[in-house]
Structure 1
Amino acid sequence: MMFLVITVISTFVLSNESSRIPFLNGDNFSDWKDKILLTLGCMYLDLALYVDEPPEPTVKSSIAEKSSYDKWKRSNRLSLMLIKSHISQSIRGSIPPSDKIKNYMRTIEEQFVSSNKALASTLMNKLSGMKHNNSKSVREHIIEMRDIAARLKSLGIEIF
């Protein structure tokens, strides 16, 4: 009975939290990563990200060792499924497959470090070349500039 209640609650949390994760589409890596990590943490599925894979149990393994391995394996499998389901098809094809969530996340991060540098350069050029041209209000122009500055800040570049 208790397992059924936990399963129902986990399913609710999964559907609720995963609906808030944006699809990784190339220019939203930081936001996507933050939401993925939050969701995995809320669902208690982040174990495989922070703990190395325990040795595969044998016949002589204790119940605790078997349980530890099963928890890690479940965390790894469900984390991979959740992450892969929130990556656009065009990007997913360029990421080498992995059966370990830790390696998969590292590969994704490596691909987007250079992408973030290019995005930061593009945003800096856009911000430095912006001029108000009466096509919109001054307020809208300032809001657009603040939005670019906020995006740069999320990439580690702070504009004062």
Structure 2
Amino acid sequence: MIVLGCMDLDLALRTEKPAALKDTSTLDEKREMERWERSNRMSLMIMKRAIPESFRGTMSDEADAKSFLAELEKRFAKNEKAETSTLLSTLVSMKYKGKENIREYILEMSHIASKLSALKLILPEELLVYLVLISLPSQFNQFKVSYNCIKEKWSLNELISHCVQEEERIKQDKTESAHLASTSKGSNKRKIKEAANSGPPRKHHKETKEETKESGCFFCKGTNHKKKNCTKYHAWRAKKGLPELPKTN
């Protein structure tokens, strides 16, 4: 149809065939018949070329372009009830997941509603607004409550505008929350590191060794006496034949 219109060959599809020519027909009537016959002939050629070959043999060769197109439409006719059921089921089950643009999502729902209108199932705009709101995720709950609290009712265009603004606000809140979480995490890491660095200083290994040496027995490693009072040390010296050392308190 579009091709024929662009080529100015759709006259036979738009008008009925003119009355048969007579000897008394005027020049204008003859020209009109000539234009119609050319349009009819070219339209039939283009349509037959465009359809599958299996359909060509089932169509009458005597039909004019308008009758040919009407017969072709019958072959491709859909069950309106089944199509209506499918479209309505699609519309009421749609859910916005936040991946696509919300404006395009609402326009897609409106497009399905338009298809239903063409099938003689007309949905009021107010109902379509509620279907859109129901399909929005939990992030829009505050937005839904706000709409239910106001007295005025939005048109579909107003709903689209408000939804776009609300989606931008939600995205902005997510960005700010992510930034705060990242900042808080980095601050906690710094505090832990500072606390670790400011802990009690470790004693030097040499000092610890000297304290152990002064407070315990170097020979038996005991901690409650010193070497010069160690019985094991004195026994060892006696066994080696070394002179006995004086014991001290």
| TM-score, reference length from structure 1 | 0.51
Identity %, equivalent residues: 27
Aligned residue number for residue 50 of structure 1 = 15
Partner of residue 72 from structure 2, selected from 105, 108, 112: 108
Distance in 1, Cα, partners of 2:8 & 2:60: 24
**CA pair 62-145 structure 1, distance change in 2 beyond 3 A:** closer
Equivalence map 1:62-77=2 (5 Å):
64=27, 66-77=30-41
Question: 1:93 offset after TM fit, Å?
Answer: 5.2
Distance in 2, Cα, partners of 1:157 & 1:123: 10
Distance in 2, Cα, partners of 1:144 & 1:123: 12
Secondary structure class of the residue paired with 1:114: coil
Matched AA of 2:59: P
Assess if the C-alpha contact under 8 Å between 1:95 and 1:108 holds in 2.
no
Tell me if 1:158 matches 2:122.
Answer: yes
Question: 1:152 offset after TM fit, Å?
Answer: 2.4
**CA pair 146-66 structure 1, distance change in 2 beyond 3 A:** closer
Instruction: State the structure with bigger RCO (CA 8 A, min sep 6), 1 or 2.
Output: 1
Question: 1:147 offset after TM fit, Å?
Answer: 2.6
Distance in 2, Cα, partners of 1:137 & 1:154: 27
Matched AA of 1:123: L
**CA pair 111-159 structure 1, distance change in 2 beyond 3 A:** farther
**CA pair 43-100 structure 1, distance change in 2 beyond 3 A:** same
Aligned residue number for residue 44 of structure 2 = 80
Question: 1:75 offset after TM fit, Å?
Answer: 1.4
Which structure: larger Rg?
2
Assess if the C-alpha contact under 8 Å between 1:127 and 1:148 holds in 2.
yes
Distance in 1, Cα, partners of 2:41 & 2:53: 22
**CA pair 114-48 structure 1, distance change in 2 beyond 3 A:** closer
Count of residues in correspondence between the two structures: 120
Stretches of structure 1 that go unaligned for 5 or more consecutive residues are: 1-16, 19-35
Aligned residue number for residue 201 of structure 2 = none
Stretches of structure 2 that go unaligned for 5 or more consecutive residues are: 125-249
Question: 1:130 offset after TM fit, Å?
Answer: 2.4
Assess if the C-alpha contact under 8 Å between 1:47 and 1:72 holds in 2.
yes
Equivalence map 1:1-160=2 (5 Å):
18=3, 39=5, 43=8, 45-47=10-12, 49-52=14-17, 54-55=19-20, 64=27, 66-85=30-49, 87-89=50-52, 92=55, 96-98=59-61, 99-132=63-96, 134=97, 136=99, 139=102, 141-160=105-124
Question: 1:100 offset after TM fit, Å?
Answer: 0.7
| TM-score, reference length from structure 2 | 0.36
**CA pair 94-138 structure 1, distance change in 2 beyond 3 A:** farther
